[in-house]
């Protein structure tokens, strides 16, 4: 099976124009840049708005909510900046095999992150539930829980949208490169139809 895959990758590199791959990789890189700018903008806005509220509010559920938003978005910004730099500096002149691998990895990362986002929102709901059983820390649990629900919800939508954008892009631009390839009639080789 590995031999067939290896032969397929070699043929793909020969048959598919490097210009098409370069264009696809350039578009994927620009998409990642826009996604990281979106995440960074969300993080920055949250840090400013919630930072101001956290500093001005004395105590209560709202203060904990804004505190969670600030802490959470420090991490988001810490991911968005290097992610943007990596996408901006990404090489677009890469082989078909590496293109395929990077596309697959990108899709998997966003799907995995989507699953993590569900865990974040679940944690938020659990904190809100804990607030009902611990009146002394109810404000903190509710505030942190609401923050996790907001941030996890945003990231869930963000990650699923990012996955969808990349998947649609690959289906439109990368998958058609396979349309003219098929197994030979003997089943021993691969035939590429030039139309």
- pTM (global) more than 0.85: no
Length of the chain in residues, anyone? 195
pLDDT score of 54: 96
Given a cut of 70, whether residue 189 has pLDDT beyond it is no
pLDDT score of 179: 60
CA distance 54 to 48: 10
pLDDT score of 1: 60
Q: Which residue has the tokens 């611990």?
A: 134
* Dihedral over alpha carbons 22, 23, 26, 30 (to 10 degrees): -170
In the three-class reduction of DSSP (H, G, I as helix; E, B as strand; rest coil), residue 59 is classed as coil
pLDDT in tens, 50-81: 999 999 999 999 999 999 999 999 999 999 99
Cβ-contact 164, 172 below 8 angstroms = no
pLDDT in tens, 106-160: 999 999 999 999 999 999 999 999 999 999 999 999 999 999 999 999 999 999 9
Cβ-contact 79, 155 below 8 angstroms = no
């Amino acid at each position: 099976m590995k031999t067939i895959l290896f032969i397929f990758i070699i043929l793909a590199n020969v048959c598919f124009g490097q210009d098409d791959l370069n264009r696809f990789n350039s578009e994927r890189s620009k998409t990642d840049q826009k996604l990281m700018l979106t995440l960074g903008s969300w993080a920055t806005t949250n840090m400013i708005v919630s930072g101001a509220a956290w500093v001005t509010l004395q105590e209560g559920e709202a203060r904990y909510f804004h505190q969670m938003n600030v802490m959470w978005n420090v991490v988001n910004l810490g991911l968005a900046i290097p992610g943007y730099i990596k996408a901006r500096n990404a090489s677009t002149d890469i082989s078909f095999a590496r293109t395929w691998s990077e596309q697959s990895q990108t899709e998997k990362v966003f799907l995995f992150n989507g699953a993590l986002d569900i865990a974040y929102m679940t944690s938020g709901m659990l904190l809100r539930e804990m607030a009902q059983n611990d009146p002394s820390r109810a404000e903190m649990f509710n505030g942190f829980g609401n923050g996790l629900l907001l941030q996890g919800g945003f990231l869930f939508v963000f990650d699923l949208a990012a996955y969808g954008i990349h998947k649609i892009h690959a289906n439109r631009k990368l998958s058609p490169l396979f349309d003219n390839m098929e197994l030979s009639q003997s089943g021993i080789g691969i035939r590429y139809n030039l139309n």
